[in-house]
Structure 1
């Protein structure tokens, strides 16, 4: 019962797994071909996908109708499989940087392809390539042994190398890709072990599992090559979320200090879906423009506004973790209003330091990180505080309590 269920699952997965692998190949084609160290991996997965596609009944029927015989389809599929095995080894040899090694691998693959073609052409007439317990291997046992040994060597080396580097790298996406690729390769290795058992011992007990093994191999390899795409997508979503959250604060500061803005769209949605700068620079650009605007607004911070902002925030309830951001947002709001009202600029930092009264700073965060990630977190907190009720109610010179505000409870 279990064997029949696994065989049914393997047959059902044949088309979806091949489709997933082919989609992964298409999605990673452009970035992989631009990166020399990824071309071998992409070629390995692309050729594996091509071999699997040629093994699909619908594709086999179509190509057989065009070629007039399925012999060409079978031979082409197996030769592409040899290229895939060679591409795996070529990819694994990339870290060594050894040109003679990679040249030797290419020559070896060429020799194996020639041997496979020779063994096929020199065999008795045959229409298909198969290993059956009843009729024996076609075109010959030597033909299948050549294919099996080639794949066994490539898969074994691949699993060992991927596991070796997967255990030693601190790069989590790279480790995940290596382990996924090793798992897919191990499943492909078990597929060829099943073929070897059928060839040497004539046992058919493993045959029902072979479609499932090769289908799962495709799924794991597709997942491995899509790791960079997933990482990029996560980064893009994080940047989009950052831009969305910073927009209200950025919009307010851009109105007061328009000269810091490089270029912009009119709405948040347009900014995200039609960014005025390269998409991967959008969040970085917003952070820089907000900091530049705050640097300019430092010259418009009214004297004594910081204590008033602190008293205002304290009056609303317990001094919580976000109180610093709320106080700073109140100061930024006051400086913005002063700038828009046409108030004269305060003394320059040099003049203030000579008089012993350093100007209030909107940018300095003593004892905190200054990385881009930390700055994004800080500005998101500031943007959240800027639109909060305490900041909206803040007005120097009058009571600013917000009736019913949750922080008063």
Structure 2
């Protein structure tokens, strides 16, 4: 049996957990930037998403500047160590301010957003002032032993900024995720809130160290911070993932519907908005209508074709189709679709041969229950599922074995040879 990764990580102790957390640093930052780049177009169209995008983008910038390789490169000249440390912390506070702005945008109007902006400006000014007032120093750090650099007050302001923003954000995400009607929004808020909670625990551990010298949580901090980055990236990508899933599902549905739709549209071409492409692969790669309308158009046009072809079905066709399907041993749940597929085969055959409508066909609604089943009066999703089942049955050996019966020619008409 393969070892459980979680148990193996726990057995490795704090050192192993810290190494694992450090290993997530680069993947976390990469995922954040990918999420930011992918969601920029949506954020430009939707003001509600701009605060969230800003919060994630500034968090990505702050975490990028904290990558060991970036820190090493930035500090290759020891004279720059002070400036690098200050810039990293200022961008971190800017990230906290972006989270506050996101919270304000989600809960209230301009007044609270203005207050979030003012608070961020005050905190940034306080950090710069406390840094300037401190004795000469290099890198900003909180060493295992000794006083924080540049000062305890500086670190308390920095930690307070993050805790204020993170606590407010977790509360808002939890509250609004429970009220959200959209699954996409609820999941995004929960992921963002969980990531923010981990960032809050990260800064809480620094607060305990600053005030009480507690260091037991230090090995776990890289894991907390980098998981926070992955969760925020996931939160930002939730709409894209739902869109991708819907696109893949629509593509699969259109692929299954295409053979039935093509055959019916060949018989009654006027129901189609566009002519069928050469192959269904071409149809899916270069759809003749907007991609999000492809399945909708296929369903509507297939239904319209079914209703029109009902005029070319003999009165006994549904009964013959039912007997054929039952004799072929088609399971009960698929019989209705198989019966309709057989009736459609006969109707299409009659229409393409130019045979006259059977007597009384125009007076029967949709040529009987077999044609009306699933074709109207149901929700689009249920109708789509039924038509997919009909399309699958249409290409089955059972339907291919069904022999259409030509309707009798009415008096005075000559049956085609």
Please give the TM-score of this superposition, normalised by the length of structure 2.
0.87
Q: CA shift at 1:347, angstroms?
A: 7.9
Partner in structure 1 of residue 409 of structure 2:
none
Partner in structure 2 of residue 384 of structure 1:
392
Identify which of 295, 298, 305 aligns with 2:317: 305
Partner in structure 2 of residue 401 of structure 1:
none
Greater Cα offset, 36-45 or 266-275: 266-275
- 1:283 to 1:64, Cα distance in 2 relative to 1, 3 A: farther
Identify which of 323, 332, 336 aligns with 2:335: 323
Identify which of 263, 269, 292 aligns with 1:252: 263
Asked if structure 2 preserves the Cα contact closer than 8 Å seen for 1:71 and 1:127, the reply is yes
Partner in structure 1 of residue 167 of structure 2:
156
- In the alignment, structure 2 segments of 5+ residues that lack a partner are 1-11, 407-417
Partner in structure 2 of residue 280 of structure 1:
292
- 1:72 to 1:346, Cα distance in 2 relative to 1, 3 A: farther
Asked if structure 1 preserves the Cα contact closer than 8 Å seen for 2:198 and 2:224, the reply is yes
Partner in structure 1 of residue 25 of structure 2:
14
Deviations 1:280-328 (A, max 9, x none): 1111121122122223322322343222222222333377221111111
Matched, 1:337 2:345: no
Partner in structure 2 of residue 270 of structure 1:
282
Q: CA shift at 1:367, angstroms?
A: 11
Asked if structure 2 preserves the Cα contact closer than 8 Å seen for 1:299 and 1:347, the reply is no
Task: Tell me the distance in 2 between the aligned counterparts of 1:339 and 1:213.
Answer: 68
Matched, 1:289 2:301: yes
Aligned length: 393
Task: Tell me the distance in 1 between the aligned counterparts of 2:357 and 2:190.
Answer: 60
Partner in structure 2 of residue 365 of structure 1:
373
Q: CA shift at 1:254, angstroms?
A: 2.1
- 1:16 to 1:367, Cα distance in 2 relative to 1, 3 A: closer
Asked if structure 2 preserves the Cα contact closer than 8 Å seen for 1:254 and 1:293, the reply is yes
Partner in structure 1 of residue 9 of structure 2:
none
Deviations 1:174-231 (A, max 9, x none): 3322222222111111111121122222233222221111111111111222211111
What is the SS of the residue equivalent to 2:20?
helix
Task: Tell me the distance in 2 between the aligned counterparts of 1:369 and 1:129.
Answer: 69
- 1:318 to 1:77, Cα distance in 2 relative to 1, 3 A: closer
Task: Tell me the distance in 2 between the aligned counterparts of 1:261 and 1:77.
Answer: 60
- 1:134 to 1:320, Cα distance in 2 relative to 1, 3 A: closer
Task: Tell me the distance in 2 between the aligned counterparts of 1:260 and 1:66.
Answer: 73
Task: Tell me the distance in 2 between the aligned counterparts of 1:369 and 1:360.
Answer: 16
Task: Tell me the distance in 1 between the aligned counterparts of 2:75 and 2:294.
Answer: 51
Matched, 1:394 2:413: no
Identify which of 93, 106, 118 aligns with 1:82: 93
Q: CA shift at 1:160, angstroms?
A: 1.7
Task: Tell me the distance in 1 between the aligned counterparts of 2:374 and 2:383.
Answer: 13
Asked if structure 2 preserves the Cα contact closer than 8 Å seen for 1:60 and 1:70, the reply is no
Identify which of 326, 338, 343 aligns with 1:314: 326
Asked if structure 2 preserves the Cα contact closer than 8 Å seen for 1:133 and 1:203, the reply is no
Task: Tell me the distance in 2 between the aligned counterparts of 1:319 and 1:73.
Answer: 71
Identify which of 166, 175, 195 aligns with 2:206: 195
Asked if structure 2 preserves the Cα contact closer than 8 Å seen for 1:291 and 1:363, the reply is no
What is the SS of the residue equivalent to 2:332?
coil
Task: Tell me the distance in 2 between the aligned counterparts of 1:49 and 1:207.
Answer: 21
